[in-house]
Amino acid sequence: MKIIFLGDVVGKAGRNAVHDNLEELSRTFSPDFVIINGENSAHGFGITGKICRDFFKAGIDVITLGNHSWDQPDTAQYIASEPRLLRPLNFPENTPGMGKGVFKTRKGQKILVLQVMGQLFMPPVEDLFRSLELALRSVVLGSHVSAIVVDVHAEASSEKMAVGHFLDGRVSLVIGSHTHVPTADGQILPGGTAYQTDAGMCGDYNSIIGMKIDSALNRFTNKESKSPLQPADGEATVCGVFLETDDKTGKAIKFCPIKLGGRLQLSTN
């Protein structure tokens, strides 16, 4: 199975870059399934039903969220009726929406997608390791599903790495999101699980993690400033990862970063 995961989409620049580059990504990688993290796609904060529908229409199969899940007022209502929009699995039990789902690829194979949110330097959530253990207890990679992708939306690199090793051999991909900076540690772990600490963002990298430099910098240099953050609107880079799995085992056989367009352009040849 061929899977693309694209990191946090930030604002209009990020949305446009994803839409503009999906065709090239499809030509280059021929993916069977495409996942994006969309929690910053609505002007940098949250997501709307319209943005979701536009992504799905463009060919995105699943959208994950994170700590900004509820920043837009209609999300809680929309997510209740849209199984392809996932919030963190380890949110409290009565939270709207779902943190996991089994979906069919373009070839009819089954893929399980889950998201958890980190506990270090993040808003309070349930134990992510226990949540993962419960979610995967009755699912066997390569038997019940052909692939399993876990989005770890977390601040701390160590916590993301811990999840990678905790799930090594049990899932196809553990991919970090949230910090908006693509890391250079993409690898296939000893048990066959592909791992990268952060996929990076789809947004303008002439910025401070996707936000205009002046307003973000002012928050560091002037502690009294309450100026609102605004998404940077220059040319964006689409960042993420490509994964190919073994059809029998569901484990990773090929894994590489994606950096397309903008300031971080990386050749995929």
- Structural domains of the chain in order of their starting residue, each with its CATH number: 2-205+234-264 (3.60.21.10)
Residue with tokens 């490509």: 242
Annotation marks residue 19 as catalytic: no
pLDDT at 224 (0 to 100):
65
List, for the chain, all residue ranges whose pLDDT scores fall below the cut of 70: 224-225, 266-269
Rounded CA gap, 93 and 112, in Å?
20
pLDDT at 218 (0 to 100):
87
Nearest C-alpha neighbor of 17 from the set 164, 206, 252, 236: 236
- Identify whether the C-beta of residue 171 lies closer than 8 Å to the C-beta of residue 82: no
Nearest C-alpha neighbor of 252 from the set 262, 263, 241, 236: 241
263 φ, ψ to 5°? Answer: -75, -20
251: Cβ contacts below 8 Å, ≥ 6 apart: 141, 142, 169, 172, 191, 192, 193, 245
Task: Considering the candidates 43, 68, 144, 180, report the single residue annotated as catalytic.
Answer: 68
Structure tokens, 227: 């100026």
pLDDT at 194 (0 to 100):
98
For residue range 204-245, list pLDDT tens digits in order.
999 999 999 998 988 888 876 677 899 999 999 999 999 999
